[in-house]
Amino acid sequence: MKRIVKSLAVTACALAICSSASMAAVTKLKSNGEVVPIYIDEQALKEAYRYIDFGLAARDPSRVYPYLACIVDVGTEVRITDITFFSHIFTVRVMSGPEAGKCAGTVKRSFIDNPDLIEEYKPK
């Protein structure tokens, strides 16, 4: 019984490691607009996108403000500190512009301006 529990624990750890990759790559942010929202954490991003997906944020943008860590310009350099591949969410730290060193949070994969970088860090 102890062997089974130990085996399950090792398997769970391996899955957790494969579900996210740790890195410190620097890239720029992109967007269809002029700015990129960086959310406090993954849960805040998901909550904000509930408003965005239903069109409520377009009518009343203040609904998503509590979930924002900061808003940066397109082209701002960020350091990717973690990637959650199953949800395509990146944890980043702002490295340039007025928010440099003051802002860290999460963004969706679509805001990362280097698809080769994303492929490079996928778990094998």
Domain-located, residue 89: yes
Mean pLDDT by 10 residues, the chain (124 residues): 41 39 71 91 95 89 94 94 83 95 94 69 51
Residue 50 lies in a domain: no
Number of domains in the chain: 1
Answer yes or no: pTM beyond 0.95: no
Looking at residue 12, its pLDDT comes to: 39
Any domain includes 113? yes
Structural domain that includes position 108: 2-41+68-120
Q: Which two tokens stand for residue 2?
A: 């102890």
User: CB neighbours (10 Å) of residue 37?
Assistant: 24
Are 48 and 67 in contact by the 8 Å Cβ rule? The answer is yes
Q: Is 25 a member of any domain? A: yes
pLDDT recorded at residue 88: 84
Q: Give the burial string for 80-106 (b: 16+ CB within 10 Å, else e).
A: bebbeeeeebbbbbbbbbebeeebbbb
Judging by beta carbons within 10 Å of its beta carbon (0-12, 13-18, 19+), is residue 45 exposed, middle or buried? buried
Amino acid 86: pLDDT: 76
Contact 1, 58 (CB under 8 A): no
Q: What is the pLDDT of residue 33?
A: 85
Indicate whether 57 belongs to any domain: no
59 inside domain: no
